[in-house]
Structure 1
Amino acid sequence: MSFRIDPRLPLTGEVRRILAEEIGKALAHLDAAPSRPEQALHKCRRRLKNVRALLRLVRSGDETFCETENQCYRNVAGLLAGPREATALIETIDRLAASFPEESAGDGLGVVRDRLVAHQQELHEGSGLEAAIGAATAACEEGLKRIESLTLPDQPEQAADVLADGARSTLCRARKALDKARSRGEANDFHDLRKAAKTHGMHLSLLGRLWPAPIKARRKAVDELGERLGELHDVLVMRALLDSGERPLGSPEDKKLLGKLLKRSEKNLKKTCLAEATELFGDSPKRSTRKLARKARDDLAGAAVNEDAGVPG
């Protein structure tokens, strides 16, 4: 099956199906994590993000269930955040080296990278990771059992309103974060914009059969923005780590070079992200989802009529 809502089927059943599939895949990645922590934990967290995006999409249909479960999987993702952040910091060094080959030609970034790799290995080999995987597994298994308690409106008009409300809410979050990022430019503003963009991209996948055309170009642009905002987030995390002096990253000369390249990368990424986000989220969220609501009502109602008449969807 796919990470996409089928408008020919009742909304409750479709959302239960997708939740079960994504949580099941997260559990499979957790099972593989002890032997392949770097890849498996990253894939698990991606599945959990899918789950949380779906819960946000249908939140107005069953607020108690969606809010409780969203917090549950937020906590699970938090258990696995440390190892993923360690990997992201190494990837940041690699991107800096590729982006600024002349400035990073010496050994400075290599020394920093070696220390980050050593820290990553400590996390992977420590007892804390095993405990985190165990707790995450238990939480996901319990979450699977609760899926059947979810109840959403299945009538076409009400179901369409639920989907449109969820999509509009995320677009409002993105627009608000964009406005703050343009006016203040703080790390949290860009982080909020990244989360909203990622969620919107997942909503485009879920609503692929309902979102008004053209959708492919928008999905590609959202994915590219999400990747760039992810790179910016990693740069900002690295800068915060460097400024705090929490962990020895190298000699003063090494840290000076790292700080210089981080500032240059941050400036370039912020400029690009703001331009791309303005293109995607500069429009009114209400206007953007009005067509979605109409199309969803028509498609869901059409599916219901065909079902009643015995016509294949």
Structure 2
Amino acid sequence: MAYHVHQVRKRMKMLRGLLRLMRDALPADMYRQENAALRDAANALSVTRDAQVCINTFDILVPPETLDDKAQQLAPVREALVAERDRLLTAPSPETQGNNAARHLALARGEFAKMRERLPSWRLTDKGFKAIAGGLKKVYGRGRKAFAKASASGDDGDFHEWRKQVKYHWYHVRLLHSLWPRTMRARAKELQSLAERLGDEHDLTMLRAKLLRLEGIEEGALAELTWRASRRQLTLRDEARRLGGLLYAEAPKAFCRRYQRFWKVARF
């Protein structure tokens, strides 16, 4: 179930990325409606997804084979995380006569169905590169600003915002793959690598927050796991900063002009 929830959320984010690319060529009310629908449906699935992520992150910090050694004191932490995940997945939901996870998936499925019914009414106000220029430039620019802010502040929330903008830009590059396949493929690969680092970094933030809410766990175990998480976060942030400096080196106007030239050469 957790796998299916994760896959649905990924596709919702891809659709939101598409909307952002075409934003300036869509009627404002249409963009707001579709973006809000996808956002709300994705948020409904986030609770069960986040619970599984905390377990996966624990297993990276504390490989299973080490639980029989000096890290045995950390085993109760994993047990508590699994118990919470199972409770969220199996909690009864009167609306679907099933469990919470089933209810959340049903809500997401309903939003997709409604959006599909509205698709024939979608209309773009511009054609060609003009239809995507504003969205391409805006998302890249936001990512560049978020990179600078996160690098300067070191704040968890700033890194999370940068991650979101990186993923949207990654989706845009993938959508524009045919402009120059080899070049776009290389950039998409580096953006994926950056998104994965920032994603792992955010997962560690979630785990640290979860540890503060766990009850009945020895303080020593919580302190040990928090230390491991913090140390890993520092490494991931350093790697992300270096990669981000390369991917966001251009000013937004220059970046957009370059892609406009790609578009013209490709004769779209």
In the alignment, what sits opposite 2:233? 266
Percent of aligned positions with the same letter in both sequences? 30
Contact preservation (8 Å) 1:89, 1:238 = yes
Counterpart CA distance in 1 for 2:8 and 2:118 is: 19
> Which of 4, 10, 34 in structure 2 is aligned with 1:69?
34
In the alignment, what sits opposite 1:138? 110
Aligned to 2:2, the other structure's residue is in SS state helix
Contact preservation (8 Å) 1:191, 1:233 = yes
Aligned to 1:250, the other structure's residue is in SS state coil
In the alignment, what sits opposite 2:263? 296
After superposition, what is the alpha-carbon deviation per residue over 1:172-229, rounded to whole angstroms, capped at 9, x for unaligned? 1111101111111111111111111111111111011125862222111110110010
Aligned to 1:115, the other structure's residue is in SS state helix
Counterpart CA distance in 2 for 1:211 and 1:67 is: 31
In the alignment, what sits opposite 1:85? 50
Which residue type is aligned with residue 264 of structure 1? R
Aligned to 1:223, the other structure's residue is in SS state helix
Aligned to 2:62, the other structure's residue is in SS state helix
> Which of 159, 176, 186 in structure 2 is aligned with 1:190?
159
In the alignment, what sits opposite 1:148? 120
Which residue type is aligned with residue 54 of structure 1? L
Alignment of 1:101-250 (within 5 A): 105-127=70-92, 128-153=100-125, 158-210=127-179, 214-242=183-211, 245-248=212-215, 250=217
Contact preservation (8 Å) 2:139, 2:168 = yes
Aligned to 1:151, the other structure's residue is in SS state coil
Aligned to 2:206, the other structure's residue is in SS state helix
Contact preservation (8 Å) 1:76, 1:139 = yes
TM-score, structure 2 normalization: 0.90
Contact preservation (8 Å) 1:212, 1:292 = no
TM-score, structure 1 normalization: 0.77
Gaps of 5+ in 2: 93-99
In the alignment, what sits opposite 2:17? 53
Counterpart CA distance in 2 for 1:294 and 1:221 is: 22
Counterpart CA distance in 2 for 1:111 and 1:285 is: 49
> Which of 232, 238, 247 in structure 2 is aligned with 1:280?
247
Counterpart CA distance in 2 for 1:212 and 1:87 is: 35
Gaps of 5+ in 1: 1-36, 304-313
Contact preservation (8 Å) 1:115, 1:249 = no
Which residue type is aligned with residue 259 of structure 1? T
Instruction: Report the alpha carbon displacement of residue 109 of structure 1 after superposing the two structures with TM.
Output: 2.9
Change (3 A) 1:223 1:183: same
Aligned to 1:214, the other structure's residue is in SS state helix
Counterpart CA distance in 1 for 2:117 and 2:73 is: 51
Which residue type is aligned with residue 145 of structure 1? E
Corresponding pairs, count = 259
Change (3 A) 1:87 1:296: same
Instruction: Report the alpha carbon displacement of residue 136 of structure 1 after superposing the two structures with TM.
Output: 1.9
Contact preservation (8 Å) 1:108, 1:257 = no
In the alignment, what sits opposite 1:22? none
Aligned to 1:209, the other structure's residue is in SS state helix
